[in-house]
């Protein structure tokens, strides 16, 4: 099972600002939409069907994002995602946006999800089945602070492209 998921998307005109750059708020929409598609395709987990069957869904608790280079109108980008931390009541997903050939980093995002029961309208816990899935796809990282992770990714990327 793939742990790091990648999807190509085209940046649409209506999502861009007057400079033909992807609007800052739209990065989050691209990231969330791609992640939903990726977990349905790769992990056979359609979160909307799952919510209808179990009452469990996820809400975004926080986002941390760094904009590295602008994504431009009609540019094809690669959006990469990976689960970097999980617990009974938390998911932390790291996402990156690259240009099409993955030689230019556009943005890095950490998004924290909290399981939520729509029937009880309260925070919930992950089931044993979900915990097994999360364990199987986890890509642990050393850094626990977003800014430290950002610096490490940038340094690794620069050293890779300099070689």
Range 2-20 average pLDDT: 97
Is residue 47 scored above 90 in pLDDT? yes
The average pLDDT across 92-105 equals 97
| pLDDT for position 160 | 80
What are 45's two structure tokens?
Answer: 């987990």
Domain 5-162 top-level CATH class: alpha beta
pLDDT value of position 1: 86
Collapse the DSSP code of 136 into the 3-class scheme (helix H, G, I; strand E, B; otherwise coil) and give the result.
helix
Burial (CB count <10 Å: 0-12, 13-18, 19+), residue 92? buried
Q: How buried is residue 2: exposed, middle or buried, by Cβ count under 10 Å (0-12/13-18/19+)?
A: exposed
Instruction: Give the CA diameter of the chain.
Output: 54
pLDDT at 159: 84
Quote the pTM value: 0.95
**Would the pLDDT of 30 be above 80?**
yes
Higher pLDDT, 94 or 161: 94
- Summary mean pLDDT of the chain: 96
In the chain, what are the domain boundaries? 5-162
Distance CA 65, CA 154 (A): 14
- The DSSP string of 98-122 is EETTS-SEEEEEEEEEEEEETTTTE
């Amino acid at each position: 099972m793939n742990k790091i998921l990648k999807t190509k998307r085209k940046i649409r005109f209506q999502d861009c600002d007057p400079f033909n750059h992807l609007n800052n708020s739209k990065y989050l929409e691209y990231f969330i939409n791609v992640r939903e598609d990726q977990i349905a395709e790769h992990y056979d987990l359609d979160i909307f069907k799952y919510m209808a069957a179990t009452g469990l869904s996820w809400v975004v608790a926080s986002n941390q994002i760094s904009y590295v280079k602008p994504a431009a109108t009609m540019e094809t980008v690669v959006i990469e995602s990976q689960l970097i931390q999980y617990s009974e009541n938390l998911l932390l997903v790291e996402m990156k946006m690259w240009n099409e050939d993955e030689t230019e980093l556009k943005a890095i995002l950490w998004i924290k999800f909290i399981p939520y029961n729509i029937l009880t309208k309260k925070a919930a816990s992950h089931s044993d089945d979900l915990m097994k899935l999360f364990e199987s796809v986890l890509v642990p990282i050393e850094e626990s602070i977003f800014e430290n992770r950002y610096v490490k990714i940038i340094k690794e990327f620069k050293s890779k492209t300099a070689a």
